[in-house]
């Protein structure tokens, strides 16, 4: 039975789900042109594709205390069905997350359309159930995400996304602006910058992150990223690799996050290490 948020929900939060590709870039990618990632990051970019996609992901995570002892082993699983189309694109997603005493089940429905050859608009609606397995309490809520993508040219793109725009019980309101530029299809750099625009002190919620992708062979890519999230009092880095063919893609990522001790978040200092595997089939 769903009840009001308890103190556990007020302070403890599950980390937002990221695809393996985005995890390898430390979360960076609001301005990128992605398929399955559009279900979780910026829904607008799906309109730049004309293919379908099936995506599955599994994450294995360890959280250690300051002494190096493993205190949690969270798990993430994600599935996305996407259909890119320049008139109207759409995707259906499902994620299951377990982190500490919290469990999250989330369904997502995204749609996007090209406003003109260089601009796309997208929106996602998410239905979430968060449950505290220790107290047996749960809460159901909806969130809405709006996104814009602007392709300046074949090398440069901009993105803007507003998460939880109507300030639901999920308390994840944030706006992020991103920019991405590619050099001769061999090197791609990207930056994101944002914060909680509804906070009393926006400066305390700022988010910075950046990434580099290097094409090493015809089908192989190396990726690196770093981030600093003042609202969650976290910072970290990541790296990964991707093998991408016209029909099949395999992604791998390792991400490390240092969480500061926080009285407000009722949390001691911890370190989180994530290993993520993603597989997609395009048709």
Q: Domains (ranges, CATH) in the chain?
A: 7-282 (2.40.160.60)
pLDDT band, residue 257 (cuts 50/70/90) = very high
Mean pLDDT, to the nearest integer, of 152-172?
A: 90
Q: How far apart are CA 101 and CA 72, in angstroms?
A: 10
DSSP state of 19: -
Over pLDDT 90: what percentage of the chain? 77
C-alpha–C-alpha distance, residues 136 and 257, integer Å: 29
pLDDT at 162: 97
In sequence order, what are the residues at sequence separation of 6 or more whose Cβ sits closer than 8 angstroms to the Cβ of residue 197?
173, 174, 175
Dist CA 57 CA 104 (whole Å): 16
CB neighbourhood size of 259 (10 A): 20
Mean pLDDT check: name the lowest of 6-10, 29-33, 192-196.
6-10
Is the torsion defined by CA of 108, 120, 36, 15 positive or negative?
negative
Q: Tokens for 233?
A: 């009092």
CB 74 within 8 A of CB 101: no
Through-space distance between the first and last CA atoms of the chain, rounded to whole angstroms: 41
pLDDT of residue 2: 37
C-alpha–C-alpha distance, residues 67 and 53, integer Å: 43
Mean of the pLDDT values across residues 189-205? 94
d(CA 62, CA 48) in angstroms, rounded, equals 36
Helix or strand or coil: residue 37?
helix
Nearest CA among 45, 40, 34 for reference residue 16: 40
Q: What is the DSSP letter of 7?
A: H
Among 16, 37, 131, 127, CA closest to 82: 37
DSSP labels, 216-283:
-SSSEEEEEEEEEETTTTEEEEEEEEEEE-SSEEEEEEEEEEEEPPBTTTTB--EEEEEEEEEEEEE-
Q: Which of 200-209, 232-241, 261-270 has the lowest mean pLDDT?
A: 261-270
pLDDT at 69 over 70: yes
At 48, give phi and psi (nearest 5°): -85, 5
Confidence of residue 9 (pLDDT cuts 50, 70, 90): very low
| Mean pLDDT for all residues in the chain | 91
């Amino acid at each position: 039975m769903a009840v009001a948020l308890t103190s556990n929900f007020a302070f403890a939060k599950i980390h937002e789900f990221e695809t393996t590709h985005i995890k390898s870039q430390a979360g960076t990618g609001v301005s990128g042109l992605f398929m399955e990632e559009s279900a979780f990051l910026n829904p607008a970019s799906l309109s730049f594709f004309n293919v379908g996609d099936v995506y599955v992901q599994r994450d294995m995570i360890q959280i250690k205390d300051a002494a190096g002892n493993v205190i949690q082993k969270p798990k993430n699983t994600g599935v996305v069905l996407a259909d890119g189309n320049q008139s109207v694109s759409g995707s259906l997603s499902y994620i299951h997350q377990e982190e500490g005493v919290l469990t999250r089940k989330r369904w997502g429905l995204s749609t996007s359309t090209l406003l003109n050859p260089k601009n796309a608009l997208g929106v996602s609606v998410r239905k979430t159930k968060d449950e505290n397995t220790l107290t047996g309490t749960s809460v159901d809520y909806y969130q809405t995400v709006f996104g814009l993508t602007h392709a300046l040219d074949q090398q440069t793109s901009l993105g803007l996304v507003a998460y939880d725009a109507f300030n639901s019980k999920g308390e994840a309101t944030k706006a992020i602006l991103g920019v991405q530029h590619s050099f001769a299809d061999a090197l791609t750099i990207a930056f994101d910058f944002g914060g909680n625009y509804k906070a009393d002190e926006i400066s305390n919620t700022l988010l910075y992150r950046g990434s580099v992708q290097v094409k090493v062979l015809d089908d192989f890519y190396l990726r690196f990223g770093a981030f600093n999230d003042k609202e969650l009092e976290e910072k970290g880095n990541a790296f990964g690799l991707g093998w991408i063919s016209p029909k099949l893609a395999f992604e791998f990522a390792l991400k490390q996050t240092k969480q500061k001790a926080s009285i407000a978040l009722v949390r001691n200092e911890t370190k989180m290490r994530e290993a993520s595997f993603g597989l997609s089939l395009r048709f």
